[in-house]
């Protein structure tokens, strides 16, 4: 079923439910991944891990998610998107609960791999659902609300997760996330309507053929590369964010929840605002401005030494504004690249390459960052900042090509006709 608002009309009650349930789904999936960063210092001290070991634990999720996305891409447009979402979400729940009972570093890594195999596909299925239900002119707003799951994970999820970890150990946050996800799965099964319109326009005879046809399209490859580069920056800095705050900036474990809460609250305000602006203004210009701002803040933040709590909170909010200002318009633009019959495969491959690139970035960051003792400052974190800025400039160029593709042709916007036109090739 495809419901689209006309002009500036308000979303229907069902559309609001779709936005809400996808936002909550994203909240649990993002929280499961995001909670690894604030738990970083606790895990490294509890399990006696070096930065490289912890970086691998983070990247294990990303690599398995990337492999899963590639393996399922050919099948992504051959099933009801609701059933596909439920299948992977239930697997994600099982993996998260396994993290909650892991009792050693090897079992934790194994649990993260299982969680990634299922959790890494959730985002791509959600993006395909958004592209099916909402037209491009409203996707900025929708992305702004759905991606509020990121901010909510910081405002509510991460502080509560840290509180549970400090009170009952690092296992507790994963048990909590798994319990919430079970409730969300029930509502997906109960209220989300089947999404099968894309099945009527399938042309490929096999899943492998469908995957190869999707990857072979030049326009799609530009979109894939742009998204992969966008993920590198976050994966590089995020795993060691809490360890940098504790060991370099002088923040205590009990102050960390406040930092995440305030910066997340800023995200909850910023993301819907950016979504509305990106629907009214040029999406790429919004992305470019946010990229420039993020680059400045990353360089400043990664060079900080011992800093008062208030300033650390302020810098985190300002840096988060740049990061969130990039996510909303870039994802809205990327959803306009594939035609209806390719959306599932495109989003799966896109998410897969994003996760693999992020996994490489996290592992690479673990090699660059050095900590000589459990309580010693992290070294070379500023180097990561420079690398992130350089990669951000490349992503800016590639997204400009995506923007050019959309403006020079007819993007694949869902409509009543079964056939959708492709975006013309750009050399």
Split the chain (427 residues) into runs of 10 and give each run's mean pLDDT.
48 86 87 75 75 77 81 75 91 92 86 89 83 76 73 69 79 89 93 80 66 80 83 73 85 81 78 79 87 91 90 88 82 80 77 77 80 77 88 88 77 38 38
3-state secondary structure of 370: strand
Asked whether the beta carbons of 35 and 177 are under 8 A apart, the reply is yes
Q: What is the pTM of this model?
A: 0.67
Domain membership of residue 261 (yes or no) is yes
pLDDT score, position 186:
94
Domain membership of residue 382 (yes or no) is yes
Domain membership of residue 62 (yes or no) is yes
Domain membership of residue 8 (yes or no) is no
- Structural domain count of the chain: 1
- The CATH number for 320's domain is 1.20.1250.20
Read off the DSSP letter of residue 26: H
Q: Which segments of 253-292 are extended strands (E)?
A: none
Residues 79, 84, 90, CA angle at the centre, nearest 5°?
A: 155
Domain membership of residue 419 (yes or no) is no
pLDDT score, position 94:
94
The proportion of the chain whose per-residue pLDDT surpasses 90, expressed as a percent, equals 12
What pLDDT, in 10s, does the model give residues 268-309? Answer: 787 778 878 877 878 888 889 989 998 999 999 989 889 999
Residue 106 and residue 57: Cα distance in Å, rounded? 9
Asked whether the beta carbons of 225 and 334 are under 8 A apart, the reply is no
- Domain limits for position 79: 15-195+204-406
Cross-strand partners of 370 = 379
Axis crossing angle, helix 13-34 with helix 105-133, rounded to the nearest 10: 160
pLDDT score, position 54:
77
pLDDT score, position 182:
95
Give the CA-trace dihedral at 402, 76, 272, 191, to 10 degrees.
160
Read off the DSSP letter of residue 4: -
- Measured in residues, the chain has a length of 427
In the Cβ-directed half-sphere of 163, how many Cα atoms lie within 13 Å? 12
Asked whether the beta carbons of 337 and 406 are under 8 A apart, the reply is yes
Residue 8 and residue 325: Cα distance in Å, rounded? 22
- Extract long-range pairs of 3-10: CB within 8 Å, 24+ residues apart: 3/133, 4/133, 4/134, 4/135, 4/138, 4/414, 5/134, 5/135, 5/138
Domain membership of residue 2 (yes or no) is no
């Amino acid at each position: 079923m495809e419901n689209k608002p006309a002009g500036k009309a308000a979303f229907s009650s069902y559309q609001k439910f779709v936005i809400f349930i996808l936002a909550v789904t994203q909240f649990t999936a993002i929280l499961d991944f995001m909670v690894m960063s604030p738990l970083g210092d606790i895990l490294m001290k509890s399990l006696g891990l070096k930065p490289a070991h912890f970086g691998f634990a983070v990247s294990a999720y990303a690599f398995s998610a990337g492999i899963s996305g590639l393996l399922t891409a050919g099948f992504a447009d051959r099933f009801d998107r609701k059933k596909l979402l439920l299948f992977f979400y239930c697997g994600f729940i099982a993996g998260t609960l396994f993290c909650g009972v892991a009792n050693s570093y090897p079992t934790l890594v194994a649990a993260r791999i299982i969680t990634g195999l299922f959790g890494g596909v959730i985002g791509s299925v959600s993006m395909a659902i958004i592209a099916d239900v909402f037209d491009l002119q409203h996707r900025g707003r929708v992305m702004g609300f759905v991606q509020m799951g990121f901010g909510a994970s910081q405002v509510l999820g991460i502080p509560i997760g840290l509180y549970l970890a400090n009170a009952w150990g690092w296992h507790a946050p994963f048990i909590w996330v798994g319990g919430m996800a079970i409730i969300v799965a029930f509502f997906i099964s109960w209220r989300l309507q089947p999404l099968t319109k894309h099945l009527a326009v399938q042309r490929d005879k096999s899943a492998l053929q469908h995957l190869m046809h999707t990857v072979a399209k030049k326009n799609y490859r530009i979109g894939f590369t742009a998204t992969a580069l966008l993920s590198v920056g976050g994966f590089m800095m995020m795993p060691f964010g809490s360890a940098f705050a504790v060991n370099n900036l002088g923040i205590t474990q009990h102050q960390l929840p406040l930092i995440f809460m305030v910066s997340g609250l800023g995200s909850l305000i910023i993301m819907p605002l950016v979504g509305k602006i990106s629907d009214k203004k040029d999406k790429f210009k919004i992305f470019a401005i946010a990229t420039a701002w993020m680059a400045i803040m990353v360089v400043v933040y990664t060079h900080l030494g011992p800093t008062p709590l208030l300033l650390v909170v302020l810098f985190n909010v300002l840096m988060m504004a740049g990061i969130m200002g990039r996510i909303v318009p870039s994802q809205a633009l990327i959803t306009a690249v594939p035609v209806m019959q390719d959306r599932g495969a495109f989003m799966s491959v896109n998410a897969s390459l994003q996760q693999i690139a992020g996994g490489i970035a996290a592992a690479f960051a673990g090699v660059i960052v050095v900590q000589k003792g459990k309580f010693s400052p992290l070294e070379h974190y500023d180097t990561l900042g420079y690398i992130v800025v350089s990669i951000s400039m490349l992503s800016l160029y590639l997204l400009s090509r995506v923007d050019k593709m959309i403006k020079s042709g007819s993007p694949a916007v869902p409509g009543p006709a079964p056939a959708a036109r492709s975006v013309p090739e750009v050399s």
